[in-house]
Structure 1
Amino acid sequence: MSNIKYILGLFEDPDDMMHGIDKLQENKISIYDVYTPMPIHGIENKLGVKRSRLPIVAFICGSIGGLTAFSMIYYMMVTDWPMNIGGKPNFALPDYIPITFEWTVLFCAFGMVAAFFFRNHLFPGRAPRVMEFRATADRFVIAIDAKAGDNAKIDSLLKEAGAIEVKHNDRKYLSYE
């Protein structure tokens, strides 16, 4: 039994990497992940990445913010300490629209930041998860689970596609320490 967990194909050019993805998918080899130093348009569709659920989180957080503001205003101005201001009713809805909007935006922003940090495991004190250090600088990396198929076949497919280096990792992530 081999200790190899991942096979990494390192490419210099994004076009070669995209060609490598095509070759691997033609041979029914599943790709664990792709790491690039810059965004590449269309790669999500090619890899079958699902659409983000961040808009749903934004809607839920914004709704909670709006309901919180609305209920606080109602409690303070109608139940807790009703005041007669210029003969207006205690709860004049148009007066409270701006603060309700601001709370909606505030809760939405903080909720999305919290969801982003939670989803990407960016907690304070946590070491960054890196599979290949050069993926942030000048290399395009395709990571393949070593249990996905024949390792020699995967190596040859990556080399045919233009990989300048094929590495076998025995760990999931590297650390900077």
Structure 2
Amino acid sequence: MEASKVIHAIYNDDDILMSAVKKVKAAKYHIDEVYTPFPVHGLDKAMGLAPTRIAIAAFLYGLVGLTVATVMMNFIMIEDWPQNIGGKPSFSYLENMPAFVPIMFELTVFFSAHLMVITFYLRSRMWPFKEAENPDPRTTDDHFLMEISVNGNEEALQSLLSETGAVEINLIDKAH
């Protein structure tokens, strides 16, 4: 098992963290990960992460929900068990579609939301009973941690991080 060294720089304010991320990226260091107790707006752009494609997946999942709703209502209310409800004709889906709009909307939102959550958990590899990968429990409360790999530049990196306002800097041996 090969071990490598990483530096954990801990911050106690999200604004200081954002400024530090920008300074570290400007100095051409690669930030492996940032752990925060809450989402920090703009952190993904400051780190240079690629934009997410979850919105495209949500649209496709919504289309699946709309299709399921349309096929389901056509089968149930028109083909399998036609009923005269409130004087509406039961021989044509298109004539009944205004009455079906709330169901179409609800199933579109239902499928989109639930499949999007499942996709997020699978892409993030966050399945049930998974061990937490959080290196410091304080980052679930009120601290922010920036993890940077060390490649023979330990002193320069530590001095840069201390200039950015880190309250604590630790050198950690991390197993791959």
- Same-fold status (TM-score > 0.5): yes
TM-score range, shorter chain: 0.7 to 0.9
| Structure 2 residues not aligned, in runs of 5+ | none
Task: Provide the C-alpha distance between the structure 2 equivalents of 1:172 and 1:35, rounded to a whole number of angstroms.
Answer: 19
SS of match in other structure, 1:126: coil
Q: Does 1:103 align with 2:72?
A: no
- Pair 1:142 & 2:146 matched: yes
CA contact (8 A) 2:25 2:47 kept: no
Distance 1:42 1:97, change over 3 A: closer
Cα distance in 2 for partners of 1:84, 1:135 equals 58
Deviates more, 1:125-134 or 1:87-96: 87-96
| TM-score (norm. length: structure 2) | 0.79
Answer yes or no: is 1:90 the counterpart of 2:87: no
Change (3 A) 1:11 1:76: closer
Partner of 2:8 in structure 1? Answer: 8
CA distance 1:72–1:35, change in 2 (3 Å):
same
Q: Give the whole-Å Cα distance in 1 for the aligned partners of 2:124 and 2:33.
A: 14
Q: What residue in structure 2 maps to residue 158 of structure 1? A: 161
How many angstroms apart in 2 are the aligned matches of 1:29 and 1:166?
16
1:162-173 matches, cutoff 5 A = 162-171=165-174
Q: Residues 58, 169 of structure 1: CA spacing in aligned structure 2 closer, same or farther, 3 A cutoff?
A: same
Count of residue pairs the alignment pairs up: 170
Match of 2:70 in 1: 70
* Identity percentage of aligned residues: 32
Aligned partner of residue 58 in structure 1, secondary structure: helix
Matched-pair contact (CA < 8 Å) for 1:4–1:168: no
CA distance in 2, matches of 1:19, 1:100: 46
Tell whether the 8 Å contact from 1:6 to 1:172 is kept in structure 2 after alignment.
Answer: no
Structural RMSD (CA)? 2.7
Q: 1:22 to 1:95 in 2, by over 3 A?
A: closer
One-letter code of the match for 2:161?
L
Shift of 1:129: 1.4
More strand by proportion, 1 or 2?
2
Q: What residue ranges of structure 1 are gaps of 5+ in the alignment? A: none
TM-score, L = length of structure 1: 0.79
